[in-house]
Structure 1
């Protein structure tokens, strides 16, 4: 991992973007990773099939919380159809690091919460429950 990428991840962890809750969200969903204790909640406001506001809250490791921060930036003003096609590779590319199998669930938890809350998608094709 490059020093710049490490600093970018740490910045999102220490200074998260869109952190907090939406008082009257259109969608609110929370899940956790029982293996490590990470928890992410995502709240959304949706207008005309687009995300107009996104917030996250939770607790956990640097990777899970930085990924949640990055994801909220990625989805602002995006159409729900575009969000539905997002994959684990999209969030891994934004993180910019190789993620070990142990950290995979940490890195993709926010995306899983988002897609589960919006579309009922609860796991990746080919992934064991």
Structure 2
């Protein structure tokens, strides 16, 4: 295993063992429940969106390390971003998961650690579950 693979694995496990933004966001104006019936991952995502800015984001759920760490990373990344920026991150993440050309200049932070998931098609739905919930919530809210 390369040093980069080892680093990515530790970032994923850190978010899984110590998730950021885990819990229920009281008084949120966006709430979405989604699940992946293939593997049983589920997420309840709550967002506070004010004037097209994601001012807060939290999640609850159960799932594999990829699913839950992706939710943790995503909530960290989108807080303070406009809804357009959050959706652009979701698009870039989706392209990365599908092995497609994507905006390499976009700073994805810890999310880069999930880039290897693209090599495992059965796990892509795990990694994208939280992102699909966020897109659905923002599009319904807007």
Q: TM > 0.5 between the two?
A: yes
**Structure 1 residue 76 corresponds to structure 2 residue 95:** no
Paired positions, count: 120
- Structure 2: state its 5+ residue gaps: 97-107
Are the structure 2 counterparts of residues 92 and 12 from structure 1 closer, same or farther at C-alpha, using a change threshold of 3 Å?
closer
**What CA deviation, in whole Å up to 9, does each residue of 1:41-62 have, x standing for no partner?**
1101112210111001100000
1:92 and 1:107 in contact (8 A); partners too: no
**Structure 1 residue 5 corresponds to structure 2 residue 8:** yes
Give me the TM-score of the superposition, normalised by structure 1: 0.85
Are the structure 2 counterparts of residues 84 and 25 from structure 1 closer, same or farther at C-alpha, using a change threshold of 3 Å?
same
* 1:98 match: 117
Structural mapping, 1:15-34, within 5 Å:
15-34=18-37
**What CA deviation, in whole Å up to 9, does each residue of 1:16-69 have, x standing for no partner?**
000001121110001000000000111011122101110011000000000000
Give me the TM-score of the superposition, normalised by structure 2: 0.78
* Deviation of the 1:94 alpha carbon: 4.7
2:9 and 2:113 in contact (8 A); partners too: no
* Deviation of the 1:110 alpha carbon: 0.5
Moved over 3 A (4+): 90-94
In proportion to residue count, which structure has more helix?
2
2:33 and 2:42 in contact (8 A); partners too: yes
Structure 2 counterpart SS, 1:2: helix
Question: Cα RMSD over matched residues?
Answer: 1.7
